[in-house]
A = this chain, B = another copy of it.
Amino acid sequence: MKHFINPADVPNVQELIEEGLTQKANPLASRNLGKDKTLVLLFFNSSLRTRLSTQKAAMNLGMNVMVMNVGSDGWQLEFQDGAVMNGGKAEHIKEAAAVVGQYADIIGVRSFPGLEDREADYAELVIESFRQLAGVPIINLESATRHPCQSLADLITIEELKTKARPKVVLTWAPHLRALPQAVGNSFAEWLNLTDYDFVITNPEGYDLAPEYRGGAKVTHNQEEAFEGADFIYAKNWSSYEQYGQILPGNEDWIVSAEKMKLTDNAKFMHCLPVRRGVIVEDAVIDSPNSVVIQQAGNRVWSVQAAMKKILEAM
């Protein structure tokens, strides 16, 4: 595997899930694989889980890690070819990516969307520029439209917990006071579409995910219908793709409640965290034994560790 930016970079998703479970069972088995290799993590946006889990995974693989919070340092990059850089942008991506590539064997990049210009966000300029220009493998630590480290951890978690060969997995939109990216929802849909699970997306009208991400998944605007017989309820807010970056009025009743969970087949509750209690989900759900959000967060280590292992092996 050369990069870990989107599912198209992954030759075999099922094998990667297995690799995650293998790493979890024996975290230090590949500790010599990354020896004398350096991982640079570039955070254009803040991070807690992704940062700690990726650093931990890299150390398990024996790598050195250097972390840069470039966002807080105001490192504004120019992406346009031929730009006269006489404004706020101090460095062109052509130099930036190539220079970091001089100090890194693998680069992890986090960069959120602006949520103002849909076309620009969905062009994935930042992460794809690093792919083209850095000269070393790139790991997507959440880009404008995707969060593959999260999605792989989600699949590992479902694999661990499923009690049927083909569980019903429901991705449900849930309310939030801020306009959030579509990345986690997009990515979850994209990866789930690569499995043979019974996958359903439910969201209010106006919140349909981009067609190229939801793919052939079943979409319903009736949340209760979606919940019926579900084995996994995956809650996540995202802002509208159609009315790009907007929060549409209403829909507060899309909270995942104990009442709605009764419609499921004793479903596990999942969320990528951080989660707004009382807004996204009722306390009674997230505090119940069926909530697997902490296990899911823990699996972030094995997800990125599996991906880095595949990348290191191919170097």
Residues in chain A within 8 A of chain B (CB atoms): 28, 36, 38, 40, 46, 48-49, 51-53, 55-56, 59, 64, 66, 68, 70, 72-75, 78, 81-87, 90-92, 94-96, 98-100, 102-104, 177, 273-279, 283, 287, 293-294, 297-298, 300-301
Contacts and interface: CB of A to CB of B under 8 A. Distances in A.
Given A103-B56, A273-B99, A278 B64 contact: no
A132 B55 CA distance: 25
Given A53-B103, A279-B86, A294 B48 contact: no
A75 B51 CA distance: 14
Given A64-B59, A83-B278, A273-B95, A102 B297 contact: yes
Contacts of A275: 91-92, 95
Given A59-B38, A102-B301, A275-B95, A48 B70 contact: yes
B102 A283 contact: no
Given A36-B28, A301-B102, A85 B278 contact: yes
Pairs A-B, 4 closest by C-beta atoms: A84-B278, A91-B274, A102-B298, A85-B276
A264 B55 CA distance: 47
A274 to B, nearest CB: 4
Given A38-B59, A294-B95, A85 B277 contact: yes
A103 B301 contact: yes
A282 to B, nearest CB: 10
Contacts of A52: 40, 66, 68, 100, 103-104
Contacts of A59: 38, 64
Contact of A90 (B104, B276, B283): B276
A98 B294 contact: yes
Contacts of A273: 91, 95, 99
B48 A84 contact: no
Contacts of A177: 86-87
A74 to B, nearest CB: 8
Nearest to A38: B56
Contacts of A287: 94
A274 B86 contact: no
A100 B217 CA distance: 34
A38 B301 CA distance: 13
Nearest to A100: B52
A78 B189 CA distance: 30
